[in-house]
A and B are shown apart, each in its own frame.
Chain A
Amino acid sequence: MNNPILAIRHLSVTFNHRQTVVDDISFEIHAGETFALVGESGSGKSITALSVLRLLPNNARLNAEAVNLHGDNLLNHSEFELCKIRGRRIGFIFQDPMSSLNPVMTIGGQIEEVIKLHFDLPRDAVKQRVLELLQQVEIPEPQQRIKDYPHQLSGGQRQRVMIAIALAGKPDLLIADEPTTSLDVTIQAQILGLLKAIQQQTGMALWLISHDLTLVSTMADRVAVMQQGKIVETGLTAEFFNQPKHPYTRKLLDALPLMQSCLAHKTEEKPPLLQVSDFYCYYPIRKGIFKRVVDFVRAVDGVSFNIQQGKTLALVGESGCGKTTLGKSLLNLIPGSGRVVINGVELNALTGEALRKQRANIQIVFQDPFSSMNPRMLVGDIIAEGIRALHPKASSDERKARVRQLLQQVDLPTDSALRYPHEFSGGQRQRICIARALAVDPKLIVCDEPTSALDVSVQAQIIQLLKTLQQEKGVSYLFITHDLAVVAEIADDVAVMYQGKIIEQGSVAEVLTQPKQAYTKKLLAAVPVLKMDH
């Protein structure tokens, strides 16, 4: 234990000579342990990892007393020598398995490349090693898979290939930068299990970088929390989660949504606001020169549900199950078929101008707060857009007053109206999007993963805001999400979606505590639960 694999002393990284991203941090990683670096986005955790391998962008300046790998200061090595360390002694797994693999090389070729770079082996031995690695990361039928291209693999399998590439150099230290963030819950559990297993086999150290505290609590031996470039707290996982010392850590832990909170919801019946029955949304698959329709992608396959006035229905499912398609086609953004009745008006009978008038009833808040606002428009104009379109008679003073009022409702300063979207943080942008949706007094807001691009503490604030608005205005939500913990916080009812169909629905307490379907049980089991007692 006295001889750490990696020891970082007084590391700082500055961008463009002014913006300090990593501010004088020091820590050690020992052999065989899992060390987790936790922090919100922009806290500098990825930059710390990149600076160990000196993979920083050109405008960054690195400053450190020492970065020791087995007592050997990496800062004294030339770029050429460092190339032999990268991949050989330190392996690296990136966040996005979609863009980290070369799309025009076979996966076997990509693993081979690393092996050839670091080991002088005959061809047969290299092939043998590639097979071994694919077996190690539990890819089924590695013999056939070796000639596959990345697009032929699923997201989870791609991440497994990334791990195989990282393991190819037999590293002593594996850096995993948010290895499961872009994956579904069930896949995430598999990948984490795999990492644990491999670590036990090889005895290497694992440096896990994550924003997800619950995930860290199940994986890590030691934890360090980063805030604005500084490490504010370090400790053994058990101590850390049971007796957090730093106020920031406590704030982070408090912001975590809890599964238990679903029991607190009241279950009084209210009249239904939205009734959807037998809703279908098919994409045609066209082939041949005449673009004949040969088959359909059944994105939404016969769905029926109700939403009560002033209540929240959560639509849960893994990526690709059709939940976003359903949400968008309720607003007629994607054509769908089936009966949709809101507030007594049947929507699918309407077209043209009549439909445009009914638009006010349902609004949407998107997942990505960065692409959901026109970067060339002022915030005030963005919010006023709906008023302008649906109430063309409103005078400009009335509009301004309304925008001011909306900004206050979502807790933003009123002078925000004269600023551009890029001047706001992710959470603030999501507030603007909510204000834009509220502007036309909708009865129902479709929230399409509104919090999944946000940090934990911001996520908690947005959920609180949504709840408050529901109490004040009696608006209903269709809350689309993959995060069951968030569902527990906000939803009254839950519908679980799987391959275009709703397989289970009921009140939140029922579904989350006594799931009936096997798939729901699997989903619930895969959710990492904060382990308080190690």
Chain B
Amino acid sequence: MVVLWTDALIYLLIVVILALGLYLRGKEHIKRPLQQISRSKIGMVSLVVLLFFVLIGLLDSVHFKPADDKKNEIISLLDDWATPLREHGEKTYSAPFATTLYSKEMMTLADGSMQWGYPRLEFGGRHLSNPEIEKVPDILQKTVYGLAQGASLIGFFMLLMWMLLVEQHKRFMRSSTAKTVWAVAFFMVSFSYALIYLSGYYHVFGTDKVGEDVFYQAVKSIRTGLVIGTLTTLIMLPMAIIFGILAGFFRGWVDDIIQYIYTTLNSIPGVLLIAASILMVQVYMANHEAAFTSVIVRADTRLLFLCMILGVTSWTGLCRLLRAETLKLREMEYVQAASALGVKQGAILLRHILPNVMHIVLISVVLDFSSLVLAEAVLSYINIGVDPTSYSWGNMINGARLEMAREPIVWWSLTAAFVFMFALVLAANLFADVVQDAFDPRRSGNE
């Protein structure tokens, strides 16, 4: 097993989340908003969609060197399962569900003569002998078959869970929110199973310029998006929280210095900083080639650096919010009462200020997540995002933009990236709304 830097941080993040969950278990002021979230249909459905993405991202974060490998390649669990998809490359562009290439070329027929036409694909629809007639019925049949298999799989799991549940949980499962969640999970699992099944025979989202399967690219991009969305926050949070609270609590020269730092940082265009630091990493990697032998290691280092520099440029907003909130909280009477009781300042910060700004942190983390995923796409588009060899929605869009002017248009790369990104960001935004409603004390009171 090979642990890349971002993998390690993702594992750390999971450990932190689990520890936080254990610590907050049974805390009344956290429990109530969580219950409110669990009652919200939109919240739970978007959470299921998010978890689905996270699961794929996690599968893609367990890297290893295959035993029988000759190419010195590092692959992930997801790659391992998607090996046929990964290796079924075509020559160049082909449309979704196509059986022939997208452009004409000279091909040699069986009798040795040459012909100008659309050659058959090497893998897409190979099992058909007469594509014109057989293709549509075959696709329909395979879709139904895949759906049925997926449905029976998830149905079996649900039945198993229902039987294992205790009576108390069963009552919860009968609520309308739980039913909606089950319906969404059912639909998603059977739909994606059908997609996977179909992609064994066709390129369901077509192929790109070098003949790589677009569906595979889009799925691989999930990890990049998630890493940028979560690791950046992980880097940004400590800075925002520590600086914000210190500035608000101590005021005076501490506040002056911190304010000076973040106003300066805020007035430098973020894109410039990012471009400069990415350039720096590239130079560093070029000078230390021995340490970066594998393509995936190089791409990973660049991704990590992108996260870091995004984190460094984006903590100022939250820091400001926290400073303002702390300024308000430090005048609260319970803080004054604590200092009248002789509680030390560090303890006041930890016990009275920090827990009372956590709802702001939570809300802004969820809101920032979606904007960071979108930021990645924009940065990759102007070539200062993730490594061009790694899979990301930004790279897919960047690659597709050159073909937008082509006639007939190559639309599938762009569409696939758009659909995946849209689903993730929409789910994250809807979830953020629900979280905000639940944790904002001014709103949660009145239903």
- B337 / chain A contacts, CB cutoff of 8 Å: 364, 366, 372-373, 433, 436-437
Taken together as a complex, chains A and B put the C-alpha atoms of A356 and B446 apart, in Å, by 42
Specify which of B27, B332, B340, B356 is in contact with A364 (CB 8 Å cutoff).
B340
The answer to whether A389 touches B342, judged by C-beta atoms less than 8 angstroms apart, is yes
The answer to whether A374 touches B341, judged by C-beta atoms less than 8 angstroms apart, is no
The answer to whether A385 touches B446, judged by C-beta atoms less than 8 angstroms apart, is no
Smallest CB separation, A446 vs chain B (Å): 9
The answer to whether B447 touches A16, judged by C-beta atoms less than 8 angstroms apart, is yes
Specify which of B28, B334, B342, B447 is in contact with A356 (CB 8 Å cutoff).
B342
The answer to whether A440 touches B446, judged by C-beta atoms less than 8 angstroms apart, is no
The answer to whether A333 touches B340, judged by C-beta atoms less than 8 angstroms apart, is yes
The answer to whether A389 touches B343, judged by C-beta atoms less than 8 angstroms apart, is yes
Taken together as a complex, chains A and B put the C-alpha atoms of A385 and B339 apart, in Å, by 10
Specify which of A362, A373, A375, A376 is in contact with B340 (CB 8 Å cutoff).
A362
Smallest CB separation, B439 vs chain A (Å): 12
- B339 / chain A contacts, CB cutoff of 8 Å: 333
Q: Mark B371-389, 1 if CB is under 8 A from A, else 0.
A: 0000000000000000000
Residue B69, interface by CB 8 Å: no
Specify which of B29, B342, B351 is in contact with A359 (CB 8 Å cutoff).
B342
Q: Mark A372-401, 1 if CB is under 8 A from B, else 0.
A: 111111000010011011100000000000
Assuming A59-B447, A374-B355, is B28 touching A390 (CB within 8 A)?
no
Residue A78, interface by CB 8 Å: no
The answer to whether B341 touches A436, judged by C-beta atoms less than 8 angstroms apart, is yes
- A437 / chain B contacts, CB cutoff of 8 Å: 337
Which residues of B from 399 to 447 have beta carbons under 8 Å from A?
Answer: 446-447
Taken together as a complex, chains A and B put the C-alpha atoms of A382 and B335 apart, in Å, by 11
Specify which of B29, B341, B344 is in contact with A363 (CB 8 Å cutoff).
B341
- A386 / chain B contacts, CB cutoff of 8 Å: 341-343
- B355 / chain A contacts, CB cutoff of 8 Å: 374, 376-377
Residue A331, interface by CB 8 Å: yes
Residue A357, interface by CB 8 Å: yes
Specify which of A57, A377, A440 is in contact with B341 (CB 8 Å cutoff).
A440
Specify which of A57, A373, A382, A388 is in contact with B446 (CB 8 Å cutoff).
A57
Interface range for A: 20 to 34
The answer to whether B340 touches A385, judged by C-beta atoms less than 8 angstroms apart, is no
Taken together as a complex, chains A and B put the C-alpha atoms of A377 and B355 apart, in Å, by 9
- A389 / chain B contacts, CB cutoff of 8 Å: 341-344, 347
Taken together as a complex, chains A and B put the C-alpha atoms of A490 and B338 apart, in Å, by 27
Residue B111, interface by CB 8 Å: no
Interface centre among B29, B337, B343, B447 (most CB of A within 10 A): B337
Q: What residue of chain B has the Cβ atom nearest to residue A362's Cβ?
A: B340
- B336 / chain A contacts, CB cutoff of 8 Å: 328, 333, 364, 366
Smallest CB separation, A60 vs chain B (Å): 11
Specify which of A57, A59, A372, A390 is in contact with B333 (CB 8 Å cutoff).
A372
Q: What residue of chain B has the Cβ atom nearest to residue A376's Cβ?
A: B355
Residue B352, interface by CB 8 Å: yes
Q: Mark A1-26, 1 if CB is under 8 A from B, else 0.
A: 00000000000000010000000000
The answer to whether B341 touches A375, judged by C-beta atoms less than 8 angstroms apart, is no
- B344 / chain A contacts, CB cutoff of 8 Å: 356, 389
Taken together as a complex, chains A and B put the C-alpha atoms of A439 and B340 apart, in Å, by 12
- A371 / chain B contacts, CB cutoff of 8 Å: 332-334
B interface residues with partner A (beta carbon < 8 Å): 27-29, 332-334, 336-344, 347, 351-352, 355-356, 446-447
A interface residues with partner B (beta carbon < 8 Å): 16, 57, 59, 328, 331, 333, 356-357, 359-360, 362-364, 366, 368, 371-377, 382, 385-386, 388-390, 420, 433, 436-437, 439-440
User: What are 6 residue pairs bridging A and B, where the CB atoms are less than 8 Å apart in the complex?
Assistant: A59-B447, A333-B336, A364-B337, A371-B333, A377-B355, A390-B341
